[in-house]
Chain A
Amino acid sequence: MSRPYYQSQDLKKFKNISDWSPELGAKFFEYYNSVFEEGALSAREKSLIALAVAHTVQCPYCIDAYTQDGLQRGIERNEMMEAVHVAAAIRGGASLVHGVQMMEVYDKRSM
């Protein structure tokens, strides 16, 4: 297959997922749009959370979309980078906390 797995123009076709399942697609996008409305958290805060999660799930479409969304909202680059570090800290922490399991197995099996 010569087509790369990820192509930036595919982001614009996201809505096309409704073509093969209109009812579920409509439900998903209605839910999606509701999630990002102003609520107990501001839409700005949600945008930064989305950016951090985008890095956690390593979705290039989401990173593109929420970097641009942040620019439109006036979110600054240091704020975006801090959000990415939150993602990195949780991902790194998630690996490291398993070190406790490693240590316990090691200690249990060792003389």
Chain B
Amino acid sequence: MSSKSLRSRSHRLSSTQAQLEWLEKGIFKPGGLPHFATKVNGFQDTPLRPHSLDILQLNLGYMCNQVCAHCHVDAGPDRKEMMSETTLEKCLDLIRKTSIKTLDLTGGAPEMHPHFREFVSQAAQLGIQDLIVRSNLTILLANKKYVDLPEFFKTQNVHVISSLPFYKKDKTDRQRGSGVFLKSIEALKQLNAIGYGKSETNLKLDLVYNPSGAFLPGNQKSLELEFKKALKTDFDIDFNQLFTITNMPISRYLEFLIASENYEEYMESLVEAFNPSALDKVMCTNTLSVRWDGYVYDCDFNQMLDLKVDHTMQHIDDVIPEELVQRNICVSQHCYGCTAGSGSSCQGSVV
């Protein structure tokens, strides 16, 4: 796989339209596999609708120090999109006037945003129960301006959620880039050293597992036990929970599926594993995702496909939460990723 973003390669799949064509046509053409909206029909009142707004997920920008092969954001060092100070302030305003319990900061590498610390400090004052930063770990070692981030996280009681696709070097580096595994281990040790992931503290350190290839994640609890045993034995590392996340057939993971001729079989396996009991627990039912430019989406995946919310309030400037929650959720065939097997969300399996 390439070590550059689709955007920087001018790849056809850097267009959301091209991605949606794959998801709407091909094996999903009439007579083929059922569309997600059709499949959902019969299991619950359709269309799918949110039931609350508990989680505000902000994508602070697409810049990242890594170029992971599976990245649904197409993030990388070349991506310059960043949330403006005005939009950040609008997001704080939204938190002030709602009962949002969780603020989830993602990217790219959210720590690379020039106003990251200032924003986290302000948000931490607003009574958020769970302030999440999705850290790729290597950013903590990437530059001396980031080395004190673990201490900063601790002072703000940030909940750190980090990607680590496997507890061995080979699979991790193949997915996330050469040298990423050992740097991630070093960063995890630093976080452990100040109390993160330790049972005697309240500093939460969770890891995210996503499959290194064209297959679905296994049982979350079993994989968590494997990760805990291996990381403790090999590196004396502790963490709290492991979240298994299904790879979504969009962006660079879609590129991989198509290039490796796994696309059709992967989509078949997602459709076959459709689990209706995940429907009322998928994250779009209680989350709002905000793009760097202030547009709002049902989830981070819809954001990457530019499927804006099905409502007149499509921008953070206009959002009235109690009105926006009265909307239909935009779906396409990537949504099968969140309802396969035990379900999948940014907080791991849902069933």
Bound: A89/B41 CA distance, A: 52
Interface residues of A in 61-81 (CB under 8 A from B): 68, 71-74, 76
A44 beta carbon closer than 8 Å to chain B: yes
Contact, CB under 8 Å: A73 / B272: no
Contact, CB under 8 Å: A43 / B272: no
Bound: A71/B211 CA distance, A: 8
Contact, CB under 8 Å: B222 / A44: yes
Contact, CB under 8 Å: A68 / B226: no
Interface residue stretch chosen among B20-28, B73-81, B124-132, B213-221: B213-221
Bound: A72/B226 CA distance, A: 12
Chain B hits for A68, CB < 8 A: 215
Chain A hits for B223, CB < 8 A: 73-74
Interface of A is mostly: helix
Contact, CB under 8 Å: A74 / B216: no
Q: Which residue of B lies closest to A9 (CB)?
A: B268
Contact, CB under 8 Å: A71 / B213: yes
- How many residue pairs, one in A and one in B, have C-beta atoms under 8 Å apart? 26
A27 beta carbon closer than 8 Å to chain B: no
B166 beta carbon closer than 8 Å to chain A: yes
Contact, CB under 8 Å: A43 / B222: yes
Tell me the smallest distance from the CB of B269 to a CB of chain A, in Å: 9
Contact, CB under 8 Å: A72 / B272: no
Contact, CB under 8 Å: A74 / B226: yes
Also in contact, A72 and B168, with CB within 8 A (given A43-B222, A44-B222):
no
Tell me the smallest distance from the CB of B300 to a CB of chain A, in Å: 24
Contact, CB under 8 Å: A73 / B213: no
Interface residues of A in 6-27 (CB under 8 A from B): 12
Interface residues of B in 211-239 (CB under 8 A from A): 211, 213, 215-219, 222-223, 226
Bound: A44/B216 CA distance, A: 16
Chain B hits for A76, CB < 8 A: 168, 171
Chain A hits for B211, CB < 8 A: 71-72
Tell me the smallest distance from the CB of B62 to a CB of chain A, in Å: 29
Question: Which of the listed residues A44, A68, A73, A74 has the most CB atoms from chain B within 10 Å of its own CB?
Answer: A74
Tell me the smallest distance from the CB of A77 to a CB of chain B, in Å: 9
Tell me the smallest distance from the CB of A82 to a CB of chain B, in Å: 15
Bound: A66/B226 CA distance, A: 19
Contact, CB under 8 Å: A74 / B215: no
Bound: A71/B168 CA distance, A: 14
Tell me the smallest distance from the CB of B163 to a CB of chain A, in Å: 15
Contact, CB under 8 Å: B168 / A73: no
Chain B hits for A74, CB < 8 A: 166, 218, 223, 226
Q: List 9 A-B contacts (CB under 8 A).
A: A12-B268, A44-B222, A44-B226, A71-B215, A73-B219, A73-B223, A74-B223, A76-B168, A76-B171
Interface residues of B (CB under 8 A from A): 166, 168, 171, 211, 213, 215-219, 222-223, 226, 268, 272
